[in-house]
Amino acid sequence: MTAAAPLTTGAPIAEAPTGVDVPGTPGILEAVGYSFWYGKKQALFDVSMNIRARSITAFIGPSGCGKSTFLRSINRLNELIVGTRHTGEIRLDGADIYARGTDVVALRQRAGMVFQRWNCFPKSIYDNIAFGPRINGETRRDVLDHLVESALRRSALWDEVKDRLRDLATGLSGGQQQRLCIARALANDPEVLLLDEPCSALDPIATQRVEELLVELKKELTIVIVTHNMQQAARVSDRTAFFYMGTLVEEGRTERIFTSPRQERTEAYVTGRFG
């Protein structure tokens, strides 16, 4: 078991093993018997899974299957909705993120989120990216400059925007804005990047750029992506989890899920017979 890394104030973050896919290695993210309710309606039933560090995990399943709910539970965005509750645990590096004393601000710095529809702030490109580091205590001008450049380079946007960092971010194209949102999340140096259908509003070329970016980024962080696009899951992910009606039906190496699924419902879904 990895040494628990508390999310509470000031605690050092423990060294953890590398993200090599060793059987039996605990993942950076673990759900244990996690159930979730919107009011009286139960959206997730007893989900237990491991998500491995420095890999891409895809959540697939038909609309309303709970995959986005689960993704949003990982950085506790769901609790902004009135009337929700949960049971079970989700652990980040061994520490329950719902434990008392957990600071959601610290959690969200470590687990960044990119949404379906790009949501750049109506500020300059530079200010959008510096937003996270600034609010999280970075005041040194040169460090901020460096963080912005590095985040833009890592999201493959630097060459397109380096001459207009002071321009309004909302003037960029959709694909550029979505990559800017990824850069904005990266500038916080999170350990986990959560993406909720990041390509559903993008054209194929912009989608390809984002996918290439994700494969590059998994060298340094853990990526969880919700997608409706089965080909996308097959192309980019190392592991795939299939959700259906609030339950995790099957989880495993992407190749195996798509070629020899163990569950009949998984096979029906990945071959396009329903959903």
For other proteins, give the closer residue by CB, 14 or 81. 14
122 binds other proteins (CB under 8 A): no
For other proteins, give the closer residue by CB, 96 or 220. 220
82 binds other proteins (CB under 8 A): no
* Residues 180, 175: Cα–Cα separation, whole Å: 9
CB of 88 to other proteins, least distance (A): 25
For other proteins, give the closer residue by CB, 150 or 200. 150
In the set 85, 146, 162, 262, which binds other proteins (CB under 8 A)? 146
Cα-Cα-Cα-Cα dihedral sign, residues 170, 175, 179, 185: positive
CA distances from 128 to 188, 190, 270 (A): 11, 16, 38
For other proteins, give the closer residue by CB, 102 or 208. 102
Q: Describe the strand order of the beta sheet including 41-51 as a list of residue ranges.
A: 41-51, 29-38, 84-92, 95-96
16 binds other proteins (CB under 8 A): yes
For other proteins, give the closer residue by CB, 67 or 218. 218
24 binds other proteins (CB under 8 A): no
Question: How many other C-beta atoms can be found within 10 angstroms of the C-beta atom of residue 10?
Answer: 6
* Residues 270, 275: Cα–Cα separation, whole Å: 9
**Binding site residues, other proteins, CB under 8 A:** 9-13, 15-19, 28, 53-54, 93, 103, 105-106, 109-110, 133, 136-138, 140, 142-143, 146-147, 150, 153-154, 188-191, 216, 219-221
